[in-house]
Structure 1
């Protein structure tokens, strides 16, 4: 956590207090409104990691983590919609391409918001989406199983895999178009509000000037595996919010104090591992800490349910919403290795 609040942290806290927390149960049932996205944009939070020269804040990673914790703890659905945006921004920042000049500034300033459609690349050796080179561009065929923020995002970062095991990342408009058909919004046990659909790709054509990166599957896995092994700030944000509820009950104060001390310890360890310069060297350690964070998330949300009693079963009660959001975070961005580590921990615990 930062010691002196950064302006973006202060803005995130104000947004959470004034808008996200008071409306979180309604949003959970009705969906993230466009007005929430606009509020996130006005707070400057879509540009938290973007370069200053392109209109972003270029904030330290600690600020990005803290704002993510605040948003997730306030309204996990709103956090999940906007968190998709930061990966396209990072990719455009890291790799030079024609599309960088077109999109980086509007994405950094919040004029546009991006979503992501490439988690399926991690399904290797399966290839849910294929990319085929044609003169002047690429054709995409297959099915994107999950796409969050449909109807809220302006553009999407899409990836497909070639027959030569090359991953091709492109930008395209986040709308129904020739070769791209969305499903009906998915009904999920948690975060239905985040407007998640699947996308059927039937010859979607994207021109070469919209390509941001081409890399081998092996190189992609080398970068993605340690990143996916890190504990998400959202886990700590939702756990903190649950412990706030527990601490408000006379019988729960000591439980909240004890769990929060353990949560702070795991948070510090997780972020220290994430900041290591050679991430590939510590994947098993990262996964172990991530699993401990999950354990504390589960304990915190369970404690909130217990402290709330029968009232916690009502759909307008914060404890049950946080418990369902915690369940969602157990599988969000899950890899096969993370699943094996988590299940192994549960078996031995």
Structure 2
């Protein structure tokens, strides 16, 4: 949707044209292959925001957003697996710890692939995963409801909460081991291919040198609030892909043009708010724009279904896949504040 002249954007477009788009419907019905992640690694996209001194690209945030849009619009399941990787890289890079010197370079270069297991911290006052200091390390007990990329990831960024409401972030091996048992792969309405499981933790022990960060829950919530209010680049990527499909139909060109104007406008506004120098000053505005982004995405994917007619109901049809991926994005990374804002918008029409 932009003309960013950056090698990573060019690489992402080439990758989607040659690999992701041609195989997207097959992947949707099976699972993300390891080869897709290897191709993303070779393209340098796993290190898009990682520090250059550790082997990353240290690309501007606009490049990270655009490459995310491109990948999500091509194959949302593949995008969802690889997008987990960037949060551990960013957190490890930002905090001095033994983990940074041990793991940041292999993560930045994509030699290792990381997943995340900490969204449950947002469930407070419920505490799905508890962390207790034990034997020169930390013991984790509880249940991680969602963990994406099982069987593809090498390590995970796991968080638990102590009895004093401190959040402990550690890096652990992403494999079955004493104290960690994965469920069978979850069957979902969309993105089943992303290999999502739940994790049962029963005395998983992680050494102290694997701790990335410890912070109070209130501090976590303060940092998380504006970040979680932003619209995901994937929303714009899926919407753009649907509009491209729509524009290629005899009846859809005018509708695609009108929706494109709406999409470009809300995208510009969303990213401007995300870059605001005082993040907490505009959380309500971010939530409102996030909801508008969902509205445009839903209109775009619905229009692609309508233009496709009965053919759009076939499982090998791109329009229905994009529509289901859009449904998934409505709840991906959702917080209570985001849910309330979205429901209020729907109620008001």
TM-score (norm 2): 0.99
2:198 alignment partner, SS class: strand
Structure 2 vs 1, CA of residues 166 and 149 (structure 1 numbering), >3 Å: closer, same or farther? same
Q: How does 1:145-294 map to 2 (within 5 A)?
A: 145-294=145-294
Match of 1:100 in 2: 100
Matched residue, 2:332: 332
Is this contact kept in 1: 2:49–2:59, CA < 8 A? yes
User: Aligned-pair distance for 1:2?
Assistant: 5.3
Task: Say if 2:4 and 2:63, in contact at 8 Å, map to a contact too.
Answer: no
* CA deviation profile, 1:125-176 (whole Å, cap 9, x unmatched): 0000000001310000000000000000000000000000000000000000
SS of corresponding position for 1:62: helix
CA contact (8 A) 1:139 1:205 kept: yes
Q: Distance in 2 between matches of 1:4 and 1:339?
A: 33
Secondary structure at 1:251 match in 2: coil
Aligned to 1:21: 21
CA drift at 1:93: 1.0
Could you say what secondary structure the match of 1:50 adopts? coil
Please report how far the alpha carbon of residue 277 of structure 1 lies from its aligned counterpart in structure 2 after TM superposition.
1.4
Deviation by residue 1:160-197 (Cα, 9 ceiling, x = unmatched): 00000000000000000000000000000000000000
Q: Offset of 1:95 from its aligned partner?
A: 0.5
CA distance in 2, matches of 1:337, 1:68: 24
1:80-95 matched pairs, under 5 angstroms: 80-95=80-95
In the other structure, the counterpart of 1:143 is 143
Question: For each residue in 1:317-336, what CA deviation from the matched residue of structure 2 results, as whole angstroms up to 9, or x when unmatched?
Answer: 00000000000000000000
Query: What displacement does 1:5 show?
Result: 1.7
Query: Structure 1 unaligned runs (5+)?
Result: none
Q: Which residue of 1 aligns with 2:323?
A: 323
- After TM superposition, where is structure 1 displaced by more than 6 Å over at least 4 residues in a row? none
1:53-132 alignment, distance < 5 Å: 53-132=53-132
Is structure 2 residue 83 aligned with structure 1 residue 52? no
* Alignment RMSD: 0.7
Structure 1, residues 282-302: CA drift from partner, whole Å, max 9, x if none? Answer: 110000000000000100000
> Is the CA contact 1:2–1:62 (under 8 Å) kept in the aligned structure 2?
no
Counterparts of 2:191 and 2:103, CA distance in 1: 28
Residue 100 (structure 1) shift: 0.6
Written as runs of structure 1 = structure 2, the 5 A alignment for 1:28-39 is 28-39=28-39
TM-score, length-scaled by structure 1: 0.99
SS at match of 1:333: coil
Cα drift, residue 264 of structure 1: 0.2
* Partner Cα separation in structure 2 for residue 339 and residue 236 of structure 1: 19
SS at match of 1:230: coil
Match of 2:302 in 1: 302
- Could you say if the C-alpha distance between residues 319 and 3 of structure 1 is closer, same or farther in structure 2, counting changes exceeding 3 Å? closer
SS of corresponding position for 1:85: helix
Determine the C-alpha separation between the residues in 2 that align with 1:172 and 1:246.
44
**Secondary structure in 2 matching 1:178:** coil
Q: Is the CA contact 1:2–1:63 (under 8 Å) kept in the aligned structure 2?
A: no
- Work out the CA distance in 1 between the residues paired with 2:4 and 2:120: 39
